[in-house]
Amino acid sequence: MRLLRVLRSQWIQVLLCLLLSLHRTSCVLASESPPTPPNIHAVIVSSSRYWFNYRHAMNALAIYRILKDNGVPDSQIILMIADEYATNARNPFKNGLYANGVDNASWYNQDTEIDYRGADVTVKSFLDATVGAAPRSIQSDSDSNLLIYVSGHGGDQFFKFQDEEEVTSQDVANLLETLSERKRFKKALFIADTCQAFTLFDKVETNNVLALGTSLKGENAYAHHSDPVLGLSVIERWTHGFANQYARSSDPKTTLDQLMVRPFKGKTALGAHVGIKENSIRFKDVLASDFFGTKNHQKQQQRRQSIKHQAAPAEALPSFDPDLSPIKQNLHLLGKSVTTADKKDKGADRKDETARKKRDHDLVDNVSLEPTDASFSALVFGFFGCLLFAQVVERHRQKKGATHIEGS
């Protein structure tokens, strides 16, 4: 009997060991299996070429990085960047794009998957990729949350692609209506960070759509700060502010209103007003995680360290693209477009405050305006106009000389 009891106890121990081993194995397999990605699809566009539009690519990469950090795979993101800034001959940091200097992490690396670049960034490719009609496009469904973000130059009811073609407010309205009819989203969020951005949504009436423009009609979108090594502006104010707000947020119930709208009330921070359109859903009722995924706090902490939280420094340059008479507009802004200097700490003495005011005053006379596509075009047309005028004068002189000879 004693032997039987011993054998029974040994069998029980073996069974317990087997069960414990199976449990551990299942836990390891569960931890190694990739998590199911959120049903979030995104189209992110930087539509401007030329080196001095570097900041538009950085705007797009800021949004792209948030999604990637939170587990949204590249298969659910269409990234469009219209110029090769990372390999540009004027980029001193080859294969790197930096918002706050080379001492911080590059927002462009080997993990950045650009779907459309250079000349492939067109109105057609944007529309086709969004509705799923292109070889490289998003494949959203009726349960998907769809994010569309565009950054570049714009004006009253239009958004420019490479200074050659435009998406109009009617195109945007038609796009969202088509997506709704084809059941390609549950909720949609469309963000435009450009001059007169909110006018792009003037004709949008589709339900379950949220739209945000970082400037109203007649207002410009401004760059946040410039990099002295690169010699140009590196990110826009609203996108920089949103990225900071997101990096600092910790509550999983944080809403879009708390990150995108409320921090930018009034005109002081941006130099423009944020406009929002809410069709059957509201910014204050929608969680940020619905469009950006569940926050990966470890990666976002690293991101926060690489995105400096600071007021726009005095040397920040205005980022604008006037519709009419660009040269006149530039001269008009020359006397008034001075960005707000960093606020002093409460313990700063009066001497530092006086020096800051003097610096701001000096900037009024020395502010350097950033070139725009429109001003560049005006210079080109002016040059060829002068050539044409010179040819006309020369032909007239030759004709007059020939007439004089015949008369003699």
Taking the C-alpha atoms of residue 86 and residue 176, their distance in angstroms, rounded to an integer, is: 32
What SS3 state is found at 89?
coil
Residue of 17, 23, 56, 153 with catalytic role: 153
**Residues 250 and 263: beta-carbon distance below 8 Å:** no
What SS3 state is found at 7?
helix
Which helix (H) or strand (E) element contains residue 80? strand 77-81
- The one-letter amino acid code at 186 reads K
Identify whether 195 is a catalytic site residue: yes
Residue of 17, 27, 41, 195 with catalytic role: 195
Is residue 273 packed enough to be buried (19+ CB in 10 Å), middle (13-18) or exposed (0-12)?
Answer: middle
Report in angstroms the alpha-carbon separations of 131 from 22, 87, 139, 140, 280. Answer: 46, 31, 8, 9, 22
Count of helices and strands (H, E) across the chain: 11, 12
- Entry field: residues in the chain: 408
For residue 339, which of 220, 193, 246 has the smallest C-alpha distance? 220
Identify whether 396 is a catalytic site residue: no
Taking the C-alpha atoms of residue 319 and residue 223, their distance in angstroms, rounded to an integer, is: 5
Sign of CA dihedral 42, 81, 61, 281: negative
For residue 47, which of 104, 117, 110 has the smallest C-alpha distance? 117
> What are the CB-based long-range contacts (under 8 Å, 24+) for 358-365?
359/314, 360/314, 363/314, 363/315, 363/338, 364/335, 364/338
- The one-letter amino acid code at 336 reads K
| Active site amino acids | 153, 195
